[in-house]
Amino acid sequence: MTHPTATPITANQLWFTQVRQVEIRPQMLSPVAGEVLVQTYCSAVSAGTELLVYRGQLPDNLALDATIVSLQQAPQYPLQYGYAAVGKVTHIGDGVDAQWLGKRVFSFAPHASHFVSQPQDLIPVPDDIDDEAAIFLANMETAVNLVQDGKPALAERVVVLGQGIVGLLLTAVLARFPLKRLLAVDKVPERRALAQQLGAHLALDPDAVAQKQKSEFVDGADLIYEVSGVPQALNLAIDLSGFASRLVIGSWYGNKSAPIVLGGAAHRNRLQIITSQVSSIAPELSGRWNKARRFDVAWQLIRDLRPERLISHRLKITEAAGLYERLDKQLDETSQAIVQAVFVYPS
């Protein structure tokens, strides 16, 4: 039994058209054989990565993400972006199992009111997880991957540089470990306050870290995560490290770069520098772990940590231009900090 779409649906799609310009474009959609049509309920803005798109700071010779169907093209304007959408399958094409009809799903799809997808690219949302909690699946999986790559151990001293949404989720997961010290670092006061609510023992402005370094980390931190998106932060990570410390780089800098001081203590300290990227499984884990197992862990952490409480702004997709402009300008001191912005779509 098939359920073709009688009338094509007009989707409102968010497009990045050139540097610091976005627009909403209508697009007629109808699933063909083997596809489904999804009506989006909400989609999460990944501020760090999406600002790279907005500012034109992506490398022009690298796919946006080789593992996500919608992001496998090289970044050339105009382009769509986004990878955390939750919605409901409203129509199915020929040959699609009827059980997909009406199912709530997560998708690594760009921001849009509707989108078409093949069923194998969708992840069913568990019944006990709300829509606005489910949009955190991608970033929670990233936090899980960072923990697996860093391998925090009993009584270690751990630092998380950057408390954007990935940094906050990482801090919340690390707070569940029996660590000696968990330090969160961020320049935004609201984010530092959230980090402590999520379990950080201490949250400091980057400029204040050096003053605390001698008392907090006499021999250096055991494990340092760099998830600020700022390449210069790697120098602070090196300053906080000790002999054979582990430095996990979870940021994607795009085409940004900065001079990194590797000629001093970093050279003698035999630092372990690990680049972490969620699109793959660490080789030493791949014999037992796969994406499905890691998603199961991420869903459980979403249940436990309730990341939807971190949503600070809910906007219509037609308000996207103003949102990206605010994110780009980093806000003034009187504005409410944008922790997690979400686009919501009317029925």
Low-confidence ranges of the chain (pLDDT < 70): 1-6, 61-74, 212-218, 330-336
pLDDT per position as a tens digit, 3-20: 544 579 999 999 999 999
**Which CATH number goes with the domain that contains 49?**
3.90.180.10
- What is residue 10's predicted lDDT score, i.e. its pLDDT? 96
- The CATH number of the domain holding residue 154 is 3.40.50.720
Quick one: pLDDT at residue 267?
87
pLDDT of residue 215: 64
Asked whether the beta carbons of 269 and 299 are under 8 A apart, the reply is: no
Confidence at residue 218, expressed as pLDDT on a 0 to 100 scale: 65
In 3-state terms, what secondary structure has residue 40? strand
Look at residue 3 and tell me if it is in a domain.
no
Of 155, 180, 160, 199, the residue nearest 305 (C-alpha): 199
Domain boundary among 228, 256, 275: 275
C-alpha gyration radius of the chain: 21
Does a structural domain hold residue 285?
Answer: no
102 located within any domain:
yes
CA distance 250 to 274: 9
CB-CB neighbours of 95 under 10 Å: 11
Q: Which domain holds residue 93?
A: 9-135+311-344
Structurally, the chain folds into a number of domains equal to 2
Of 124, 37, 48, 118, nearest to 81 by C-alpha is 48
Cα–Cα dist 139/144, whole Å: 9
Q: Taking each helix axis from N to C terminus, what angle separates 206-216 and 233-240, rounded to the nearest 10 degrees? A: 10
Q: If you ran DSSP here, which 8-state letter would residue 289 be given?
A: -
Residues 126 and 162 in one domain: no
243, two tokens: 């002999």
Q: What is the pLDDT of residue 209?
A: 87
Residue 40 and residue 56 share a domain: yes
pLDDT digits (tens, 9 = 90+) for 72-115: 466 799 999 999 999 999 999 999 999 999 999 999 999 999 99
Spatial distance between the Cα atoms of 339 and 191, rounded to a whole number of angstroms: 7
Whether residue 115 is found in the same domain as residue 143: no
The verdict on residue 238 lying in a domain is: yes
Q: Contact at 8 Å (CB) between 271 and 242?
A: no
- 42 is a domain residue: yes
Taking the chain, what is the end-to-end CA distance rounded to the nearest angstrom? 26
pTM for the structure as a whole:
0.93
Residues 69 and 131 in one domain: yes
User: Phi and psi for 246 in degrees, rounded to 5?
Assistant: -100, 125
Q: Which amino acid is at 184?
A: A
